[in-house]
Amino acid sequence: MHALANSLQNTLQQARKVRRLSQLELSMRVGVSQRHVSFVESGRSKPSRALLMAWLQELDAPLALQNAAMLQAGYAPAYTAAPLTDPALAQANDALVQLVNAHEPMPAMILDAEWNVLHLNSCAKWLATTLVPWLADALTTSAANGNASPPLNMLDLIIHPDGICKRIVNLHEVAPTLLATIRRDAATHPALAPKAEALAAIIQTRLGKNSIQHAWTPPTAPVLTTRFATAHGDLAFFSLFTTFGTPQDITLASLRVEHLFAADEETRRTVQAFATIASAQSAA
């Protein structure tokens, strides 16, 4: 019981600190005394199920973390974690696929919390194999198996010795944000931590030992643009992410759609040319 209390104590303290709230601010938001907040965070008092739910929701804790806290307190989980293939998620899954495919002729993909690629539109497949030519066989095998093969992992593709990172022309601009994003995700998904440090090592090799601390440069555009060296010339994209607004399932809460947009006219023309050829081949 003491171990559970300590675990809940740490979970609640860390969640509050992430939100940068004091115990007094939190107590006012959930309608209890600061003394009670202190007692719960120190393990001297156990919150009711209703209070714990209100507490976690006020901290905007991720659904997976909310479930973990409920279990630590001895309560049943509050949210489901159904696989995306579950019939209950069919409509949501259809909406995601429709969103990705509707973004043609620009690349789009569905990523989960651990950066696994769950779906790519045709342009995203073209871009992926343009950046990482050896990926073509894996995509073909996956399609032949009805996508039953283990999903591709975007971070693995980024940090592979002959992967995406090798093609990024402006790594000095992209690196700080990319690494910070992965490390932030690793705080709630520890399996990502080794991949974050592998990326940090690549950045240091490419840009120098102190590059992580000193790689930041003043932005030259309103959104961060990633530039890739390819057989078609340099291609430049910026990203927009779409997530579910009010997910009530952990799986759905972990998903995001990344939409890539051409950052210059040359990139737009190159991508459009691929789309035109692909459309003609499909119609033949």
From CA 45, how far away is CA 106, in angstroms rounded? 54
pLDDT at residue 147 greater than cutoff 90? no
Q: In this predicted structure, which of 29-33, 52-56, 135-139, 203-207 has the lowest mean pLDDT?
A: 135-139
Per-residue DSSP letter, 168: B
178: nearest Cα among 208, 157, 151, 152: 157
Are 51 and 22 within 8 A, CB to CB?
A: no
Q: Which residues pair with 239 in a beta bridge?
A: 260
The pair of three-digit structure tokens given for residue 255, joined into one six-digit string: 């998903």
DSSP one-letter string for 122-141: HHHHHHHHHH-TTHHHHHHH
pLDDT digits (tens, 9 = 90+) for 102-131: 999 999 999 999 999 999 999 999 999 999
Dihedral pair phi/psi, residue 101, rounded to 5°: -70, -30
H or E stretch at 176: helix 171-186
Band (pLDDT 50/70/90 cuts) for residue 283 is low
- What the chain holds in terms of domains, given with CATH numbers, is 2-72 (1.10.260.40), 87-170+225-283 (3.30.450)
150 band by pLDDT with thresholds 50, 70 and 90: confident
Q: 């057989």: which residue's tokens?
A: 231
Assess whether pLDDT exceeds 90 at residue 140: no
Give the whole-angstrom CA distance, residue 199 versus residue 153. 14
